[in-house]
């Protein structure tokens, strides 16, 4: 995906069809943006739209406003999302970036770019959790199989990682395991390879990794099966290998506000300060990790073992596990309110379309 100088692609709504063709031809990306005098996006043109107009005997002197697509897919400036993965998923080759007032700020296109290079790194997804905090929702359904936008959380995770070139997956399953295995199978339906580790008993967030000790030769990604995220995995893997760390924990910022005034005192209990409803921020584990093969040797066989236990074991050995902070979209779906938030945030973060847009219509237009 490449950024383009969008003003080179802009035409006014009063421009005629012939002049817009010249802009499309000069731009080299088969696309033009229709903007007003204040650079607000009014619509878009593709060579396919113009071609159909000409076939339909629209005169070359007609204004572009009469043929432009008026509800294009756009993304808000500053949104935390994986633009390239979204465009590849939807088959959209052109994506304008606009501000809150609809003014064009940037433009991206995918034309001529190959799919991401396949990665040989194994991805392990911890999909055996009971999901007890979700109550009745997970009594007959694994948490990772709860649906968001008509797809299970687990499928979203796999597809998101596949867009970064990951093709090999191992799912650690326990609670209602057959429902996961029946749905995902060997991964062929998702375009990936999937194997399984069946936990005969609960092994925590890292215990099942003992089954992989001695069987992997390159860093592997470990993901909790209840996390929706947009993470720069290529960048994270490169940093992990450059630092030569046995393990990298991906962290994110968690903020919480104390709903009261906080009172600070000295050793003699005299008040030194009062802070009204302070906001605290701290780094927390995002449930996403990169582990080198040597880290797996510290996971005890067939024992309940959580990921913090593994990082503590590395520290006790004098090794240096790393943390990698990221600020993108992330949500851990552990509670009902988290699940509802993931549902409402899906369109904004995974399918970032403006109100009134018609994805299917634009998809068919773009693919011609």
* Rounded Cα distance, 303 and 314, in Å: 17
pLDDT for 29: 82
pLDDT for 346: 59
pLDDT for 111: 60
pLDDT for 368: 34
pLDDT for 365: 34
CB 16 within 8 A of CB 23: no
Q: What is the DSSP letter of 114?
A: P
Helices 359-367 and 47-55 sit at what angle, rounded to 10 degrees?
80
pLDDT in tens, 45-60: 988 888 888 888 889 9
CB 83 within 8 A of CB 74: no
| Ramachandran bin of 91, using left for φ above 0, alpha for ψ from -120 to 50, beta for the remaining angles | left
pLDDT for 350: 52
CB 153 within 8 A of CB 109: no
* Rounded Cα distance, 325 and 292, in Å: 19
Helices of type H across the chain: 17-27, 47-55, 83-90, 153-162, 177-184, 233-243, 293-296, 307-316, 336-349, 359-367
Q: Among positive and negative, which fits the CA dihedral 313, 285, 138, 230?
A: negative
Provide the residue-wise pLDDT of the chain in tens; the chain has 368 residues. Answer: 445 588 889 999 999 999 998 998 888 888 899 999 999 999 999 888 888 888 888 899 999 999 998 988 888 887 766 677 667 655 577 889 999 999 999 888 876 445 667 899 999 999 988 878 888 888 888 999 999 888 899 999 998 898 888 999 999 999 999 999 999 999 999 889 999 999 999 999 999 999 998 899 999 999 999 998 888 888 899 999 999 999 999 999 888 999 999 999 999 999 999 999 999 999 999 999 999 999 999 999 989 999 999 999 999 999 999 999 987 778 888 888 888 888 876 544 454 333 222 222 233 333 33
Show the tokens assigned to 127.
């999909």
Hey, what domains does the chain have and what are their CATH numbers? 2-113+358-367 (3.10.580.10), 119-246+285-320+328-334 (3.90.550.10)
């Amino acid at each position: 995906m490449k950024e383009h100088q969008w003003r080179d692609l802009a035409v006014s709504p009063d421009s005629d069809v012939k002049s817009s063709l010249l802009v499309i031809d000069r731009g080299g990306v088969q696309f033009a943006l229709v903007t007003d005098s204040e650079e607000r996006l009014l619509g878009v043109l593709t060579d396919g739209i113009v071609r159909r107009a000409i076939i339909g005997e629209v005169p070359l002197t007609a204004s572009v406003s009469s043929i432009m697509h008026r509800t294009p897919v756009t993304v808000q400036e500053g949104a935390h999302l994986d633009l390239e993965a979204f465009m590849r998923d939807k088959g959209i080759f052109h994506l304008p970036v606009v501000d809150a007032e609809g003014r064009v700020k940037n433009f991206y296109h995918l034309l001529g770019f190959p799919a991401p290079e396949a990665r040989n790194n194994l991805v392990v997804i911890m999909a055996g959790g009971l999901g007890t905090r979700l109550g009745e929702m997970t009594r007959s359904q694994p948490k990772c199989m709860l649906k968001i936008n008509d797809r299970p959380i687990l499928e979203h995770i796999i597809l998101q990682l596949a867009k970064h070139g990951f093709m090999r997956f191992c799912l650690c399953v326990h609670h209602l395991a057959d429902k996961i295995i029946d749905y995902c199978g060997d991964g062929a339906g998702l375009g990936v390879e999937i194997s399984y580790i069946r936990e005969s008993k609960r092994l925590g967030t890292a215990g099942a990794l003992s089954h992989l000790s001695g069987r992997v030769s390159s860093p592997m990604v470990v993901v909790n099966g209840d996390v929706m995220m947009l993470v720069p995995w290529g960048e994270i893997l490169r940093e992990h290998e450059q630092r030569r760390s046995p393990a990298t924990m991906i962290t994110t910022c968690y903020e919480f506000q104390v709903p009261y005034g906080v009172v600070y005192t000295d050793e003699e209990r005299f008040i030194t300060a009062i802070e009204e409803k302070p906001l605290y921020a701290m780094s927390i584990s995002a449930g996403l990790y990169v582990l080198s093969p040597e880290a797996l040797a510290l996971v005890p066989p067939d024992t309940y073992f959580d990921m913090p236990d593994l990082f503590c074991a590395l520290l006790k050995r004098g090794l240096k596990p790393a943390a990698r902070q990221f600020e993108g979209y992330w949500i851990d779906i552990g509670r009902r309110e988290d699940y509802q938030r993931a549902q409402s945030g899906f369109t904004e973060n995974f399918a970032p379309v403006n109100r009134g847009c018609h994805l299917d219509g634009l998809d068919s237009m773009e693919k011609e």
